[in-house]
Amino acid sequence: MENNTHRNIKQTNPNELPSALPDVQQLIGNKKPAVFLDYDGCLSPIVKDPDKAILTEAMRSTLRRLADVCSVAVVSGRDRADVKGLVQLENLYYAGSHGFDISGPGNLHTEPGGAAAAIPALDVAQEELKEQLQNIEGAFVERKRYAIAVHYRNVPEEQVSEVLEVVQEVLAKHQELKPGPGKKIMELKPNLDWHKGKAVLWLMDKLELNQPDIVPLYIGDDLTDEDAFATLQGQGVGIMVGEHDALTAAEYRLEDVTEVQVFLEALTKAVKQQA
């Protein structure tokens, strides 16, 4: 599968996307799916405290059954160990830190993208952010292995601009880092040409999924998932969960986590019927 950086990407208002639910079998045709999906907002609802984004046993069972019939990977901005600990399934692949850290069955563990070189800059930026944001109520600086997430969901509206200004000031001092906007969050990430879409391509190649009888599906809810939607456009299926404030390269939509589970159950059934 080729990268689509130089293709014209079609973008749509999320509200105008058709639902992915009515006919899942038609969505994949006679092909076997390879499923890639985000964690927060897709497998677990968005919550004020990221530590409380717990996967339900019902969703875990759904993922387990799906992974029994096709390849499934969780592609998250969370640290790989964090998201793996939340999902607790050994037959899935995990791409953490927006794809900079990947593991899976068969002792697979690799860190593509070259992010290790940015760790010193992340260490310094982390301390600068903590010092400058410590007096802003609700601001939370979360350090990940290959990123720093500045959460402002709980910051008073009149102080949000101050938080974002601090982040921009810190970024300006570290050329090794770049911004990664999301829902009520701003991340500082390694300034490298690597993202969720490239992580999906890497997994497709590694798992030998670049076959004419396999169709990749990516399910995501955030701005960081747009790279994957764009990468797969024309070669797979992008499914937006909920909506965000920008246009999307996804082609279908699911309303919320509940609909994601219904979709995954239907997908499992469709794959079994093909066998």
**What are the tens digits of pLDDT across the range 185-212?**
999 999 999 999 999 999 999 999 999 9
Q: What is the pLDDT of residue 6?
A: 42
Q: What is the pLDDT of residue 1?
A: 43
Q: What is the pLDDT of residue 175?
A: 94
Per residue, what are the HEC states of 3-20?
CCCCCCCCCECHHHCCEC
pLDDT band at 244; cut points 50, 70, 90? confident
* Least confidently predicted of 12-16, 38-42, 45-49, 68-72: 45-49
Q: What is the pLDDT of residue 51?
A: 81
The residue extents of the domains of the chain are: 14-113+194-274, 115-190
Percentage of residues in the chain having pLDDT higher than 70: 97
Q: What is the pLDDT of residue 3?
A: 45
**The model's pTM:** 0.86
Top CATH class, 115-190:
alpha beta
Q: What is the pLDDT of residue 7?
A: 63
Q: Indicate whether 81 pLDDT > 50.
A: yes
Please tell me if the domain spanning 14-113+194-274 has the same topology as the one spanning 115-190.
no
DSSP string, 133-183: HTTSTT-EEEEETTEEEEE-TTS-GGGHHHHHHHHHHHHHT-TTEEEEEET
CATH number for the segment(s) 14-113+194-274: 3.40.50.1000
Active site residues: 38
Q: Which residues pair with 220 in a beta bridge?
A: 240
